[in-house]
Structure 1
Amino acid sequence: MKIQNAFRVGLVGTLGVGVGLLILFSISSLSTIIAYIGAALFLALGLDPAISWLERRGLPRWASILIVMTGVGLLVAALVLAVVPIVVDQVSQLVEEIPRIVARVNSQDWLEGLQEQFPQVPVDEISLQVTTAVTEFFTNPEKLSELAGGVLQVAIAIGTGLFAVVIVFILTLYFTASLNSMKRATYQLVPASKRERFADLTEQITQSVGRYVLGQASLAACNGVASFIFLSIIQAPFPAVLAFLAFLFSLVPLVGTLTGSIVIVLVCLIPGLGSPLTALVAAIYYLVYMQVEAYFLSPRIMNRAVKVPGALVVIAALAGGALLGILGALIAIPVAAAFLLIIKQVVIPRQNER
């Protein structure tokens, strides 16, 4: 009898471990789809305050959703049309420059200048090695196939990114349209005695997260527009691309604007693209802008969102970025805000009652 019980316990334990591993492997295999769903739900919560604002102005919900989603689609299309042609143009210029680069390497002009500056350097040996390496690279079929394979991988990555944008946009549209029904269905899963409290807390969390997302997107848009205008005035390299980078980095709270500013200043320092004076002016501008954002824009735009301590913002952004990349860094801050709200509304009152 003991052996049978031991066998039964071992069998059940083994099946439990197997089911657990199956769930983990399933989650790992579906990580991309889960990321799409999370991003779409995140965007739906962020767009819900704008939709609710239009509803309070007398518009039906379907019309409010149509207006907001059309605006988001036009914004995404404008960003793509502003960035993609510039990238394609720069790549085509690089391809056109390849024969000239090979010709310059094979010529002796740069070697003569090198010999004059550094008489002790074995110029002839360097010339032979560089010429051989460049010629071999552009004449070797294997090297060219590797280069073509890299270009193909980049093209596939761009196509995958565009497909992901389309999928997330469609899921966002569905989630936005059915957000209220999804909430009501979730409330039905909670016991009736706790349903009202659960619904109230859920509404607070979703509204707070939505306002946080909308406020952060507004701050990022301000940074992107202001960066494009300023960078165009000082004739910085690729102002549209750099402004787009400023917008993307600013979506990450607290550390995003600083990181994007550093990247833009470093790009302005690249020889042949910018100059030290341009980089210095850009650095001064972003120092001033960060002060304006911290003390003027952010308090007014984010005044209705949950306040998250700065240290928790950094920790949450780093943890979310390590787990899910840029998407994780974006989602981590509202999730931290939701946990703070739960602690304030549930945990602390219960502790005070004891």
Structure 2
Amino acid sequence: MALIKRPKLKTPTLKSLRPALDPILNPVLRRGRKSSQPDDFGTQGQPIDRSHPFYFGFIATAGVLTCLTFFKALGSASQVFVLIIISLFFAAGLNPAVLFFQRRGLTRGLSVASVVSVVLLFVALFLWIAIPPIIDQVNSLISNAPQLIGNLKNNSVIASLNEHYAFIDTLQKKVDENIQNGQIAIGAFGGVIGVGKAFISGTFAFLTILVLTLYFLSSLPKVTQIAYRFAPASRRERISKISDAIIGRIGAFVGGQVSVSAIAGIVMLIVALVLKLDYSFALGL
């Protein structure tokens, strides 16, 4: 008796159990079908006519508004920009002195500290010598102001005008009142508030210039290298050479002015000492 062979049943696999992917319902297949067909966005219009007066007027107006906004921003921050420019000028002027110390083996930080110390020492010496004579002369002017105003009456023309308008008498009376109240110096600055504002603004400007000069002077090579990177690569070498030459010329100019001032001060000091003038050292400075 022949044996009947049963067909072998295939064991279902995970792949066969997966449902068939519908090309319409499946987003991956649908995206692939779409990518093979060009997108239809309609007929492309004509390009903008740049010669049209409206287009030119729009671009010109936008440019003018941009310039006005830029200059208004500069005007509102003009004091800050002035302080930055002054600091850059001082840094460029003191840079040759820093390089002089660097060539002697000091680091740039020590060179900057040495140059700034010398400058601050000179400023302190100048204030120590110049402030006492200035205070004495101002006090002398204030105390002698009524007499000086009264001496104007000795002039015939001024005396004739004073008889008609009495402006000398009014001025002398006003000066006498301010001297008696001790308000003449304060009044010159617009009152007590004006004196405070002038002192605070002057101190702030001095400290700002000092800090910015120290920063620019200590990191001048890095600052210039960063600034040169904004230039086009094709012109970067030329711009860097021209900028380095400008910085060198500014340093030479400042050094020349310092030398001329030193020579003039020494000559003036010698003349003042020979003639026995008052405040000889102040005149020499």
TM range (shorter): 0.5 to 0.7
Quote how far apart the aligned CAs of 1:179 are.
0.4
| Partner secondary structure for residue 141 of structure 2 | helix
1:166 aligns with 2:207: yes
Quote how far apart the aligned CAs of 1:29 are.
2.9
Is 1:46–1:210's contact at 8 Å kept on the other side of the alignment? yes
Is 1:55–1:61's contact at 8 Å kept on the other side of the alignment? yes
1:88 aligns with 2:88: no
Amino acid at match of 1:167: T
Partner of 2:268: 227
State which of 103, 112, 129 in structure 2 corresponds to 1:56.
103
- CA distance in structure 1 between the partners assigned to 2:263 and 2:196 by the alignment: 31
Q: Cα RMSD between the aligned structures? A: 4.1
- CA distance in structure 2 between the partners assigned to 1:193 and 1:8 by the alignment: 33
Partner of 2:233: 192
User: By percentage of residues, which structure has more helix?
Assistant: 1
State which of 73, 79, 82 in structure 2 corresponds to 1:26.
73
Quote how far apart the aligned CAs of 1:60 are.
1.0
- CA distance in structure 1 between the partners assigned to 2:137 and 2:170 by the alignment: 27
- CA distance in structure 2 between the partners assigned to 1:154 and 1:43 by the alignment: 28
Evaluate the alpha carbon distance shift between residue 201 and residue 105 of structure 1 in structure 2; reply closer, same or farther with a 3 A threshold.
closer
| Partner secondary structure for residue 192 of structure 1 | coil
Quote how far apart the aligned CAs of 1:177 are.
0.9
Aligned residues: 229
Quote how far apart the aligned CAs of 1:170 are.
1.5
Partner of 1:134: 172
Structure 2 runs not aligned, ≥5 long = 1-45
State which of 217, 223, 240 in structure 2 corresponds to 1:176.
217
Structure 1: which 4+ aligned runs deviate by more than 6 Å?
143-147
Mapping 1:198-237, distance limit 5 Å: 198-237=239-278
Evaluate the alpha carbon distance shift between residue 226 and residue 32 of structure 1 in structure 2; reply closer, same or farther with a 3 A threshold.
farther
Partner of 1:12: 59
1:38 aligns with 2:85: yes
Quote how far apart the aligned CAs of 1:190 are.
3.0
Is 1:137–1:144's contact at 8 Å kept on the other side of the alignment? no
Amino acid at match of 2:108: R
Quote how far apart the aligned CAs of 1:139 are.
4.2
- CA distance in structure 2 between the partners assigned to 1:16 and 1:74 by the alignment: 50
Amino acid at match of 1:14: T
Q: Which digits, 9 at most, give the CA deviation of each residue in 1:63-84, with x for residues without a partner?
A: 1111011111111122222222
Quote how far apart the aligned CAs of 1:145 are.
7.1
| Higher mean displacement: 30-39 or 166-175 | 30-39
Quote how far apart the aligned CAs of 1:17 are.
0.9
- CA distance in structure 1 between the partners assigned to 2:171 and 2:115 by the alignment: 55
Is 1:45–1:176's contact at 8 Å kept on the other side of the alignment? yes
Amino acid at match of 1:30: A
Quote how far apart the aligned CAs of 1:239 are.
3.6
- CA distance in structure 2 between the partners assigned to 1:23 and 1:57 by the alignment: 46
Structure 1 runs not aligned, ≥5 long = 245-354
Quote how far apart the aligned CAs of 1:21 are.
1.4
Relative to the length of structure 2, the TM-score reads: 0.64
Quote how far apart the aligned CAs of 1:98 are.
5.3
Is 1:39–1:168's contact at 8 Å kept on the other side of the alignment? yes
Q: Which digits, 9 at most, give the CA deviation of each residue in 1:248-273, with x for residues without a partner?
A: xxxxxxxxxxxxxxxxxxxxxxxxxx
Evaluate the alpha carbon distance shift between residue 185 and residue 95 of structure 1 in structure 2; reply closer, same or farther with a 3 A threshold.
same
Mapping 1:59-78, distance limit 5 Å: 59-78=106-125
| Partner secondary structure for residue 188 of structure 2 | helix
1:150 aligns with 2:188: yes
Q: Which digits, 9 at most, give the CA deviation of each residue in 1:124-146, with x for residues without a partner?
A: x69x98556533653499x9978
Q: Which digits, 9 at most, give the CA deviation of each residue in 1:8-63, with x for residues without a partner?
A: 54333222212111222222333322221111111111111111111111111111
Relative to the length of structure 1, the TM-score reads: 0.53
Pick 1 or 2: higher relative contact order, CA cutoff 8 A, min separation 6: 2
Is 2:84–2:209's contact at 8 Å kept on the other side of the alignment? yes
Q: Which digits, 9 at most, give the CA deviation of each residue in 1:173-209, with x for residues without a partner?
A: 1100110001111222234344334333332332232
